[in-house]
C-alpha cells in the first residue's frame, strides 16, 4: 500500500489518520459523558478530565496534520458509480465533520480556561488560557461543547450508514477504499 493517495485509492497516511481520528472521537465522547456523571469523591473525578483534555488537545494537532496532508495529497476521485448529488452530499458532510471537530475543540478549550488555568497535556506541555472573561463562559461553552459533540456523533452515524449502504446495497468499493483497498 502506498503512503500517498492516488487518483483511485486512499494511501496509508490518509487511512491511518481517518481511523485514528474516528476511534479517538468515539472514545472522547464516551469518556466525556462518563466523567461528567462522576461524583467528587470518585478517584476518576480529576483523572477523567485530565485524560479528556490531554487527548482532546492531541487530537486537535492530529486533525491539523490531517488537513495539511489532505492539502498535500488530493483525495481520490469519486467513484464513477456515485451520482453527482451523492458526491456533493459526501463533500459537504466531510466539510461539516471537520468544522464540528474544530468548534468542539475550541468550545472545550473555553470551558477549561474559563477559570484562567492553562491546560496540561499529558504533563508534556501546557496550553495557556487566553480568553477567560466572557460572561458565563464555562456554562455556555459547556453547553455548546455537548450539543456540537452530540451533533458530530449523529452526523458520523449517517456518514457510516452511507458507507455501509454503498458496501452492502450498491456493492461498490467506497468502504473498501477507506481501508486502503
Name which of residues 44 to 63 contact ligand HEM (CB under 6 A): none
Q: How far apart are CA 128 and CA 132, in angstroms?
A: 11
Q: Does 31 help bind ligand HEM (rule: CB under 6 A)?
A: no
Q: Does 163 help bind ligand HEM (rule: CB under 6 A)?
A: yes
Choose the stretch contacting ligand HEM; rule: CB under 6 A; options: 19-27, 38-46, 106-114, 128-136.
19-27
Secondary structure class of 80 (helix, strand, coil): coil
Name which of residues 62 to 121 contact ligand HEM (CB under 6 A): 70, 75, 90, 94, 97-98
The grid cell for 151 is 451533533
The grid cell for 76 is 481520490
Choose the stretch contacting ligand HEM; rule: CB under 6 A; options: 38-46, 53-61, 107-115, 156-164.
156-164
Secondary structure class of 69 (helix, strand, coil): helix
Which of 27, 62, 151, 159 forms a contact with ligand HEM (CB under 6 A)? 159
CB of 171 to ligand HEM, least distance (A): 14
Radius of gyration over every alpha carbon of the chain, rounded to an integer in angstroms: 19
CB of 132 to ligand HEM, least distance (A): 29
DSSP 128: P
Scan for cell 458496501, then name that residue.
167
Q: How far is CA 143 from the centre of its chain?
A: 18
Choose the stretch contacting ligand HEM; rule: CB under 6 A; options: 41-49, 114-122, 123-131, 154-162.
154-162
Q: How far apart are CA 173 and CA 181, in angstroms?
A: 8
Number of residues that bind ligand HEM (CB under 6 A): 19
Amino acid at each position: 500500500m502506498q503512503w500517498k493517495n492516488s487518483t483511485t485509492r486512499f494511501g496509508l497516511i490518509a487511512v491511518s489518520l481517518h481511523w485514528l481520528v474516528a476511534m479517538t472521537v468515539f472514545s472522547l465522547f464516551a469518556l466525556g459523558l462518563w466523567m461528567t456523571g462522576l461524583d467528587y469523591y470518585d478517584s476518576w473525578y480529576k483523572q477523567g478530565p485530565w485524560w479528556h483534555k490531554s487527548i482532546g488537545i492531541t487530537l486537535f494537532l492530529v486533525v491539523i496534520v490531517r488537513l495539511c496532508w489532505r492539502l498535500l495529497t488530493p483525495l481520490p476521485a469519486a467513484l464513477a458509480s456515485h451520482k453527482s448529488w451523492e458526491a456533493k452530499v459526501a463533500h459537504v458532510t466531510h466539510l461539516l465533520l471537520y468544522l464540528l471537530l474544530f468548534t468542539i475543540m475550541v468550545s472545550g478549550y473555553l470551558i477549561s480556561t474559563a477559570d484562567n488555568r492553562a491546560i496540561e497535556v499529558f504533563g508534556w506541555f501546557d496550553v495557556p488560557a487566553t480568553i477567560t472573561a466572557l460572561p458565563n463562559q464555562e456554562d455556555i461553552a459547556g453547553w455548546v461543547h455537548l450539543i456540537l459533540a452530540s451533533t458530530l456523533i449523529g452526523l458520523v452515524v449517517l456518514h457510516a450508514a452511507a458507507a455501509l449502504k454503498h458496501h452492502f446495497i450498491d456493492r461498490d468499493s467506497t468502504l473498501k477504499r477507506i481501508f486502503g483497498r
